[in-house]
Amino acid sequence: MSAQARGPVRPYGDTTGDGMVQLSFTLPLPHDKVAEGAALQLANKMGMDPALVVHARPIGDGFTFFVVYGRVNHLVDPSTVQVVERDYPLLSPKEVNAAVKTGMHRRLVVVGGCVGTDAHTVGIDAILNIKGFAGEKGLEYYRELKVVNLGAQVAVPELVNRAVAEKADAVLVSQVVTQRDAHLLNTREMSAAFREAFDDASRPLLVVGGPRFDEAMAPDLGVDRIFTRGTTPGEVASYLVHRLVPDPERKAS
Amino acid sequence: MSAQARGPVRPYGDTTGDGMVQLSFTLPLPHDKVAEGAALQLANKMGMDPALVVHARPIGDGFTFFVVYGRVNHLVDPSTVQVVERDYPLLSPKEVNAAVKTGMHRRLVVVGGCVGTDAHTVGIDAILNIKGFAGEKGLEYYRELKVVNLGAQVAVPELVNRAVAEKADAVLVSQVVTQRDAHLLNTREMSAAFREAFDDASRPLLVVGGPRFDEAMAPDLGVDRIFTRGTTPGEVASYLVHRLVPDPERKAS
Amino acid sequence: MSRPQLELDRDTVKQARSLARKVGRPIVRLAKQHTTVSVERATLRMAGLAGADPEGTPWVNRLVDVVRADTGLEQGVALPVWDALVRGEAEDLITLAQKASAGSVTMRTPTGRDAQRARSLAKRQVGAGIRTIDRRRREREQMVRRIGDAPRQPWIYLIVATGDIYEDIPQAQAAARAGADVIAVIRSTGQSLLDYVPEGATREGFAGTYATQENFRLMRAALDETSKELGRYVRLTNYASGLCMPEIATLAGLERLDMMLNDSMYGILFRDINPIRTFVDQRFSRQVHARAGIIINTGEDNYLTTADAVDAAHTVTTSQLLNEYFAKEAGLEDWQLGLGHAFEIDPDLPESFRLELAHAMLARALFPKAPLKWMPPTRHMTGDVFRGYLLDGFFNLAGALTGQGILLVGMMTEAVVTPWLSDRDLALQNVRYVMNAAGNLHEDFRPAPDGFIATRAARVLGESVELMERILDHEKGMLDAIADGTFGLMKRPADGGRGLDGVMRKAPDYYNPASEILEAAK
Amino acid sequence: MSRPQLELDRDTVKQARSLARKVGRPIVRLAKQHTTVSVERATLRMAGLAGADPEGTPWVNRLVDVVRADTGLEQGVALPVWDALVRGEAEDLITLAQKASAGSVTMRTPTGRDAQRARSLAKRQVGAGIRTIDRRRREREQMVRRIGDAPRQPWIYLIVATGDIYEDIPQAQAAARAGADVIAVIRSTGQSLLDYVPEGATREGFAGTYATQENFRLMRAALDETSKELGRYVRLTNYASGLCMPEIATLAGLERLDMMLNDSMYGILFRDINPIRTFVDQRFSRQVHARAGIIINTGEDNYLTTADAVDAAHTVTTSQLLNEYFAKEAGLEDWQLGLGHAFEIDPDLPESFRLELAHAMLARALFPKAPLKWMPPTRHMTGDVFRGYLLDGFFNLAGALTGQGILLVGMMTEAVVTPWLSDRDLALQNVRYVMNAAGNLHEDFRPAPDGFIATRAARVLGESVELMERILDHEKGMLDAIADGTFGLMKRPADGGRGLDGVMRKAPDYYNPASEILEAAK
Ligand code: B12
Ligand code: B12
Ligand SMILES: Cc1ncc(COP(=O)(O)O)c(C=O)c1O
Ligand SMILES: Cc1ncc(COP(=O)(O)O)c(C=O)c1O
C-alpha cells in the first residue's frame, strides 16, 4: 500500500495492484448453476478474472441476486481524466457584490426553479435561499443579486416568460429526479426553449444542477454550466460573476 | 418484469433489460475530481455506461472508496454457460451401502484431510464426520465406507503415505484459505504427488472441495472432481459410488 | 410482557388536544363553506361516470366544465346535471357528457319541483355508487376474515415505483411473497398537479406510476390472487393527494384500496396547492375514506426532509394533532389514523438513535389507538449503500422497540434510484432479521421516567403546545401560520398556490348528494 | 448512569470458581513438572541469543538441539550452555551456538562448583533480558501517560492480514487514524505449527504475516509514530500461540507488544498440538506476559466456530473460568485478562440478539474487573455483505449495551476475503455510528431479574457448573475431558498431537533462571 503518483493505477483491495472490486446485480433467471454461470459470465465480460460468485439468492421464482468479488484487469489512467475544474476565482459575498456594482452598475438578475414535474426544491433552495448550504448563505443574501425563485414544477414556457419579464441575466434550474433520464429530457427541453426565444447575444446564462448530473455534459445539454453534488452558493455566485460581469482585467468570456 | 426464457439476458434493476448493477472499489488516489473521473473511467472500462459515482469517501490520504451505479451493456447468454451438472444419480445411504457391498465385496476406503497449512476442518468434517451437514449424516455413518480423517494441516507426503497404507480408493482434500491462491497451489502440489506415487490405474480418486473453488478447474488442477459451497455428504458418497463401484447396468467410467 | 409506555403529563396532553381543536375548527368551517371542481367531479364518479374523450380528458372534467360555463358551480354539478337527465337530454351520464361537450346540451339550474326531481334522481344514482363502496368495504372485511390478516405488527409496507403498471404488478407480488403486508404504488412525479385523473392502464410514469382507476383495479386483482396464495390479505396503498384528492379517494373506495396517503397540509406545503382548495378536497376525501374503511397515512415525515428533525420535531407532533382533529371531524376512527413520523435525525448527531426513540415513543403515547406510520431515513441516506443498510436496520429496531403499527421499509439505495427488485428483497431481509432477533427487546427496554428519552419527549410536546398557541395568536390562525412558513419552512399564502380557480363558495341552494349521504352517516 | 448488571446467584458463582480451581490445579502441577524445547529456547532468547543460520534456522534452535543431543534437556539448557561459556568455549552465546552447531563444542551437564558458576552467569544474562522487558513495560506506561490512552471503552480492535509487513504497516496506520485503538497483525496460516520462530522482516505470509521479532519491531515503531501523531497510544497485538508460544511471548515482551492472543486450549483443540506441550508452554508464556504488563486475549470465540453458540455457550463460560484460573496462577492480574467470547448465534434463530445479550452479560457479571474481548460474527457471515454489515452493527450494539472492554471490529467480507482497506474503513464507520448514536442506550436497557435474558444467563452458568463437575468425574479430569471432545467438539488425547517430542520431564537438577526469576516475582 502507498498512494501512487498519477500514473495508471488499479483498484486496491489489500495489496497494491491487486485490482479487487465488489459487484452486485440481479439476473432475470431462476437460481441454479446455470444462473451462477451466467453471473460469472457477466463478471468476466466486465473484465473480472478471476471472479467469484460469493452470494446468490433467489428473488421470487424468476430472479436471482448475486454478489461477486474478483480482480479487474483494467488499468485506469488518471492523467487521461477530463474533469471540469473550477476555472474561475472563488469570491466572497463582499467581492461578488463589489464586482457586480462596479462592473454592471445594476443588480444582476437570477431566475431559478425546478422545471418539469420535479418538485425537489431543497437543492435549488440551498443555492438561492438566504438559509443557504454548508454554512454559506444563499444568493438571496447577496445585496447586488436579484433572485426570483419560482419553486417547484415550473413549466418551461412559464420559466422563459419570467426570464423575459425579469430581464434575467442567468437562469438556474434544478433537476433531481433522474428516473428514465427525466433530468436530461427536461434540461434539453429547457435549453431549446431559451435558444428559440433568445438570440445568442441576449440569451441569459443557462445553469442547471442536481445530484446525478455529469458536469461534462453541459455542451451536449445546451447549457452553459452544470453543478452537481455538494455545490455551494458561493461557487455559483463566483461563477456568475466570472461569466456575466465585464472586468477591466479580464475580457468577459 | 417476468423471468426470461434461457435467451440472452441483461441485469435487472427495476425494469426488464435496464442492465443496472452496483459496483464498489477503492482506488489508490487521494479524493478529488480526478479520482472521481478515474472511478468513472474504470466503470466505463467495465462496460458501465452511463455510470454514476454515487459515493466517494477518502481513506487515509492516499486512497478513495467509491460506490458506482449504472447500466452495463453486456448481454449474458445462459445457453453458452458451461456448468458441472451432477452427472450421477443421488443415492441414499442404504443404496450406497448396497452398491458398495454388491459391487466391491469390501468396504470402500476414503482418506481425507486439509493439506498444507490450512486448518479449516469444519468443511471436511461436515462431509466425513457422522454429524454431517444440512441434515445429512457424514460418510463415517455409511457402514460400507471406511473413513480415515487426518484432520488439519496434513503435509502432502504424509497424505500420500497414509493413502498407500490404507489402500485408499479415494482421497478427499479440503482447502478453505484462498489468499494468494493458496488453495490452488496446495491442490496442484497434492495431485502432482499422487500422480508421481501411483500409476493411473492404481491412483486413488482425487477429490477436493472448498467454498471458493471453481468446479470447472478439476482437469487443470489434476483432480477428478471439485465440490464447492453447500456440498452435502450424500452428493459425495453418490459420486464415489458412481466413479468407483463397478455396476452391471453401467460400465464403470 | 407489554411495551414500555411514556408517562405524559395528562394536562399537557388535554391542553394539546383542545388547542388542536381551536386551531382546526375555523378550517373546517371554511371547508364546509366551499366546494371544488374535484369534489364535483368525484360526485359524478360516484354516480358511475367514467372514461375519457379521445384526447384523454375524462368525461367528468368535460361535463363539469360545461356546467361551470353554463351555470357556474356554486350550486354544485348535481342539480344541473340530473336536471338535464330528467329533462331527457340524454339517457345516461356518459351520453350527457358527450352531448354536452359537443355543445348540443345547455345546462340550467333547476328550481322548485324540477330541482326536487333532479335531487332525488341524483341521490339515487350517487347513492348506488356509495353502496358499491360499502360493498367493497364488506368484501375487504370478509377476505381478511377468510384469508387471514397480516401476522403481526408492525405491518411491513413496501413501495413499488417502476412507472409501468405491468412491471409494478409482478414486483408487488414478489414483494408480498417476500413478506410485505402492504404495497404502495408510488405516483408519477407530475400527477399531483394534474387537474384530472388519467384513464386506463399506464406504462410511462416518471419515478412512479399514474394513479388511475384501471391501474388500481389491476393491482388490487393481482394482490387478491397473491393474498389467497399466501393466506394473508395483502393491503394496497396509493395517494389521495394533489389536485384530484376527492376523485382519487372515490376511486380508491370503488376499487377496494386499503390505505391512502392523505395529509391535511402536504399538498399545500410540498406541491404549492392552494390551502383552501386543499382543505375542502381534504374533508370530502376523508369522508369517503371513513365510509370506505380505508386507513389514511398522513405525511408528517415530509416536513423532516426540508426542516431539521430535531428542531422541527414539535411541528410533526402539531401536524399529527391537527390531522387527528380533521380526520375525526370527517368521521374517521382511531384505527384508521396512520399518523406519520420518521427516522430523519442526522445520524452523526450524538444520541441520534435515542432521540429517535424519544420522538417515536411520544407519538405512540399521544395516539395509543392509532396505527402509527413509521417512515425510514431518507435525507441523510447517501450513496454509501452499506451505511444506508445499517441505518435502516436501526430504523427497524426503533420501530420494534416503540411499537409502530405500519413500518415503511427503508431502501439502501434511497439516495440513488427508485427501489430495485433486489433493494426490496434486501430491505425485507433486514426487517426480518431485526424483528426475529430483537423484536422482543422492548421487554428489556425501560427508559427512566426522568431519563434522557422521557425528558426529550416531554420537551417536544411542550414545544408543540407553544406552537399551537402561537398559531392562535395569528389573526387568521392556521392560514396565516401556513403563510409564514411555520410548517416545513414553506411559506404558502391562502390566496396563492395552484387550483385556487377550482374553488367555489357554495351558494345557499348548493346541493351535493354525496356530501348529504356522507354527512348523514356520521 | 451505570450499566445494567445481572444479579448472578452468589453461591453458584463461588461454586463455579472453586470447581475451576479443582479442574485446573492438576494441570498446573503437570506444567511445573515439565519443560519444553520452546521454553528452553525462550530462556536463551531472554539472554539475548537471536538471529539464524544461513538456512534460516534460529540459533536458539541449533543450540538447544545440540544440548539435547549431548546431554538431553531434562536439566534445562541453562546449565550446559553457560557451563560451556564459563569453560571459555566461546565468548558469547551466538559464537557458542555457531561453534556448537558446527560440532566444535560438546556440551556437558556441570555439577558442583561448575554448576554453581554456570547458574550464576546464566542468571545474570537472563536477568538482563528480563530487565529489558521491565523497561519496555515502563516505557508503555509512560507513553500512555504522556501521549494519552484510548478515549473510551470498548477499545476498537482491528486486524491487518496482508501477509506482507510492508503492506501491513501503512494499513495499520490508516486503521489507527480511522479510529482503531488496537491493531492485531494476524499470523500466516502455517506459523503455529512451526517449531521455530522465523527471522527478519517478511513479505510472503498466507492470510497473515509471520510473527518475527523484526516484524514486531517494525510495526511497533510505526504505531509509536502514529500514536504521537494521534495523541493516543495505539496498542499492538499478536499471537502467543502454537508451538513457539514461550518464545513469541518473550519477543512480545522485548518489543513492547501490548496484547497477545494466548489461550489455554486453543492450540490443543484447533492446531492439534499436544496438550501437555501446550500447558507447559502456556504457563511459561503467561508468566512472561504478567511480567511484561501484556493483556492476554483468550480464544473462547473459536469454540463457537465449530460448536453451536447456544448449545455450547456453557463451554465458553467454563473455558473463561479455567483461563482465569491459569492466568492468575501464572501471575496475571484482572486487568490483563481479555477473556474471549463471541456473537456467533445463528441470526435466523428467534431471539438470537437477546440470547447474545444474555451471554455477553453473563461474562460481564462473572468477570467484572476483566476487559472482556468481544468477537464479531464469523461463521454465520455469508457472501451477502449487506446482511453482514447489518449483523456487525448489531454486534456493535450488543457490545455497547453490555459494556465490553475490547471490541474486535467485524468485517462485512468475513466470508469472502481477509479484510480489505475499505472493509476496515466501513467497519469503523459502523462502530462509530452505533457508539455515537446508541452508545448510551444501556441507560434504558433494564433486563428484568426474572426475564428472558437473566433466565438464560443463569441457565448457562448452571450448565457450566455441571460440565466442570462432569470433568472432575473423569479419571484424569481435564486431560480426559479434552480427549473425549468436551471442548469445541474436538477429541485430543494427552499422548497425541504435535510437539509431544519437545516435552521433557524435568530432572531433579533442572535449572531455568527465567522461571526462577519469574516465579520469585509472584
Ligand atoms: C427530500 C426528498 C423529497 C421531498 C422533497 C421536498 C422538497 N421540497 O424538495 C419530498 C418528500 C416531497 C419528495 C417527494 C418525492 N420524491 Co424525493 N427525495 C428526497 C430526498 C430524500 C432528498 C433530496 C434532497 O433534498 N437532497 C438535499 C439537497 C441539498 O441535495 P441536492 O438536491 O443534490 O442539491 C445539491 C446539489 O445537487 C446542487 N444542486 C441541486 N440543484 C441545483 C440547481 C442549481 C442551479 C445549482 C447551481 C445547484 C444545484 O446543489 C445542492 C446543494 O449542494 C431524496 C433521496 C436522497 N437522500 O437524496 C429523495 C429522491 C430524490 N426522491 C425521489 C422520488 C422518486 C420522489 C417522488 C417522485 C416519489 C413519489 N413518486 O412520490 C416524490 C415526488 C416529488 C416530485 N414530484 O418530484 C427519488 C428520485 C429517484 C430518481 N433518481 O429518479 C429519490 C432519489 C429517492 C428515491 N431513491 O426514490 N422527495
Ligand atoms: C470457522 C473458521 C475458522 C476456525 C476454523 C475451525 C476449524 N476447525 O475448522 C478458526 C477460528 C480456527 C479459524 C482460523 C483461521 N482462519 Co478462519 N474462518 C472460519 C470461518 C468463520 C468459517 C469457515 C467454516 O467453518 N465454514 C463452514 C463450512 C461447513 O463450510 P465450507 O468450509 O465451505 O465447507 C463446505 C463446502 O465448501 C464443501 N467442502 C469444503 N471442504 C471440502 C472438502 C471436500 C473433499 C468436499 C467434497 C467438500 C468440501 O462442503 C462443506 C459443506 O458444504 C471463515 C469465514 C466464513 N464465514 O466463511 C473463516 C475464514 C475461512 N478464515 C480465514 C482465515 C484467514 C483464518 C486464519 C488463517 C486467520 C489467522 N491468520 O489467524 C486462521 C488460521 C487457520 C488456518 N491455519 O488455516 C479466512 C480465509 C480468507 C481466505 N479466503 O483466504 C476466512 C474466510 C475469514 C476471513 N475473511 O478472513 N477460522
Ligand atoms: C401525503 C402525501 N401525499 C402525496 C405524496 C406523494 O407526492 P405526490 O403528491 O407528488 O404524488 C406524499 C409523498 O410521500 C405524501 O406523503
Ligand atoms: C488464541 C488464539 N491463538 C491463535 C490464533 C490464530 O491461529 P494460529 O495459531 O494459526 O495463528 C487464534 C485465532 O483466532 C486464537 O484465538
pLDDT in tens, A107-141: 999 999 999 988 899 999 999 998 889 889 999 99
User: Which of A2, A57, A67 is nearest residue D170 as measured by Cβ atoms?
Assistant: A2
ipTM of the complex: 0.94
What's the rounded mean pLDDT across residues C432-458?
Answer: 96
Chain D residues with beta carbon closer than 8 angstroms to that of C5: none
Q: Which residues of chain A have pLDDT under 50?
A: 1-4, 250-253
C301 is catalytic: yes
- The catalytic residue among A33, A94, A131, A137 is A131
State the pLDDT confidence band at B252, using cuts at 50, 70 and 90.
Answer: very low
pLDDT (tens place) for every residue of chain D, 522 residues total: 467 789 999 999 999 999 999 999 999 999 999 999 999 999 999 999 999 999 999 999 999 999 999 999 999 999 999 999 999 999 999 999 999 999 999 999 999 999 999 999 999 999 999 999 999 999 999 999 999 999 999 999 999 988 999 999 999 998 999 999 999 999 998 899 999 999 999 999 888 999 999 999 999 999 999 999 999 999 999 999 999 999 999 999 999 999 999 999 999 988 889 999 999 999 999 999 999 999 999 999 998 988 899 999 999 999 999 999 999 999 999 999 999 999 999 999 999 999 999 999 999 999 999 999 999 999 999 999 999 999 999 999 999 999 999 999 999 999 999 889 999 999 999 999 999 999 999 999 999 999 999 999 999 999 999 999 999 999 999 999 999 887 767 789 999 999 999 999 999 999 999 999 999 876
Chain B residues with beta carbon closer than 8 angstroms to that of C174: 1
DSSP string, C158-207: EEE--S-HHHHHHHHHHHHHTT-SEEEEPPPTTGGG-SS---S-----SS
Rounded Cα distance between C391 and D307, Å, is 32
Are C11 and C465 in contact by the 8 Å Cβ rule? The answer is no
State the pLDDT confidence band at C306, using cuts at 50, 70 and 90.
Answer: confident
In the complex, which subunits touch A with 3 or more CB pairs below 8 angstroms? B, C, D
pLDDT at site A249:
60
**pLDDT of C495-507, one tens digit each?**
999 999 999 999 9
Q: Give the whole-number percent of chain C exceeding pLDDT 70.
A: 99
Which of C164, C422, C490 to substitute to test the interface with A, most A CBs within 10 Å?
Answer: C422
- B55 in reach of chain C (CB within 8 A): yes
- D272 in reach of chain B (CB within 8 A): yes
Distance A120 CA to ligand 1 centre (A): 5
* Binding-face residues of B in 43-102 toward A, CB within 8 A: 45-48, 50, 52, 60-63, 72, 74, 76-78, 80-85
pLDDT at site B248:
58
Q: How many CB pairs under 8 A join A and B?
A: 160
C300 touches ligand 3 (CB under 6 Å): no
Rounded Cα distance between B145 and B111, Å, is 10
Beta strands in chain B (DSSP E): 20-27, 48-59, 63-72, 108-114, 145-149, 170-174, 205-209, 225-227
Rounded to a whole number, what is the distance in Å from the CA of D154 to chain C's nearest CA?
17
- CB pair distance less than 8 Å for D421 and A12: yes
C-alpha torsion sign, points D215, D221, D224, D230: negative
The end-to-end CA distance of chain C, in Å, is 37
Are D451 and C448 in contact by the 8 Å Cβ rule? The answer is no
pLDDT at site D522:
64
User: Which of C271, C415, C422 is nearest residue A65 as measured by Cβ atoms?
Assistant: C422
- The catalytic residue among B45, B94, B101, B131 is B131
Distance C354 CA to ligand 3 centre (A): 28
- CB pair distance less than 8 Å for D417 and A20: yes
Residue B3 has pLDDT above 50, yes or no: no
State the pLDDT confidence band at B4, using cuts at 50, 70 and 90.
Answer: very low
Are B228 and B206 in contact by the 8 Å Cβ rule? The answer is no
Chain centre distance of CA C408: 14
- Mean pLDDT lowest for which of C80-94, C148-162, D327-341? C148-162
Ligand 3, pocket-test mutation among C187, C193, C237, C241, most atoms within 8 A of CB: C241
Rounded to a whole number, what is the distance in Å from the CA of A86 to chain B's nearest CA?
10
Chain C residues with beta carbon closer than 8 angstroms to that of B55: 382-385
Please state the atom number of ligand 3 nearest to the C-alpha of residue A119: 10
- CB pair distance less than 8 Å for B180 and D270: no
Distance B120 CA to ligand 2 centre (A): 5
pLDDT at site B6:
66
Rounded to a whole number, what is the distance in Å from the CA of D435 to chain A's nearest CA?
25
Chain A residues with beta carbon closer than 8 angstroms to that of B86: none
Rounded Cα distance between D328 and D290, Å, is 9
> What Rg do the C-alpha atoms of chain A give, in angstroms?
24
Rounded Cα distance between D220 and D230, Å, is 15
Chain B residues with beta carbon closer than 8 angstroms to that of A46: 46-48, 72, 74
Rounded to a whole number, what is the distance in Å from the CA of D170 to chain A's nearest CA?
7
C-alpha torsion sign, points D346, D349, D353, D355: negative
The residues facing B205 across adjacent strands are B170
- CB pair distance less than 8 Å for A29 and B2: no
Name which of D24, D28, D31, D77 is nearest D281 in CA terms: D31
For the beta carbon of residue C67, count every other beta carbon within 10 angstroms.
26
Residue having the nearest C-alpha atom to atom 3 of ligand 3: C241
Ligand 1, pocket-test mutation among C412, C414, C422, C492, most atoms within 8 A of CB: C414
- CB pair distance less than 8 Å for B16 and C420: no
pLDDT at site A1:
43
**pLDDT of B27-75, one tens digit each?**
999 999 999 999 999 999 999 999 999 999 999 889 999 999 999 999 9
D403 touches ligand 4 (CB under 6 Å): no
- CB pair distance less than 8 Å for B47 and A45: yes
Q: Which residues contact B179 (CB under 8 A, 6 or more apart)?
A: D163, D206, D207, D417, D418
- CB pair distance less than 8 Å for D421 and A13: yes
What's the rounded mean pLDDT across residues C48-76?
Answer: 97
C302 touches ligand 3 (CB under 6 Å): yes
- B26 in reach of chain C (CB within 8 A): no
Please state the atom number of ligand 2 nearest to the C-alpha of residue B175: 41
Q: How many CB pairs under 8 A join A and D?
A: 46
**pLDDT of C382-393, one tens digit each?**
999 999 999 999
**pLDDT of C172-209, one tens digit each?**
998 999 999 999 999 998 899 999 999 999 999 888 99
Rounded Cα distance between D156 and A4, Å, is 29
Place of cell 493411473: B200
- C2 in reach of chain D (CB within 8 A): no
- CB pair distance less than 8 Å for C390 and D433: yes
Rounded to a whole number, what is the distance in Å from the CA of A78 to chain D's nearest CA?
20
Rounded to a whole number, what is the distance in Å from the CA of C455 to chain D's nearest CA?
13
Which of D343, D390, D402, D411 to substitute to test the interface with C, most C CBs within 10 Å?
Answer: D390
B13 touches ligand 2 (CB under 6 Å): no
Rounded Cα distance between C471 and C481, Å, is 6
Q: Which ligand is nearest to the CA of C319?
A: 3
**pLDDT of B160-216, one tens digit each?**
999 999 999 999 999 999 888 899 999 999 999 999 999 989 999 999 999 999 898
- CB pair distance less than 8 Å for C206 and A177: yes
Rounded Cα distance between B185 and B179, Å, is 11
Ligand 2, pocket-test mutation among B120, B127, B223, B235, most atoms within 8 A of CB: B120
Please state the atom number of ligand 2 nearest to the C-alpha of residue D188: 71
Q: Record the cell numbers describing residue D24, joined without a space.
A: 485446573
**pTM, two decimal places:** 0.94
Higher-pLDDT residue of C290 and A117 is C290
Rounded Cα distance between D486 and D489, Å, is 6
User: Which of A3, A20, A47 is nearest residue B30 as measured by Cβ atoms?
Assistant: A3
Rounded Cα distance between C247 and C192, Å, is 12
pLDDT at site B2:
42
- A22 in reach of chain D (CB within 8 A): yes
What's the rounded mean pLDDT across residues C450-471?
Answer: 97
Residue C478 has pLDDT above 50, yes or no: yes
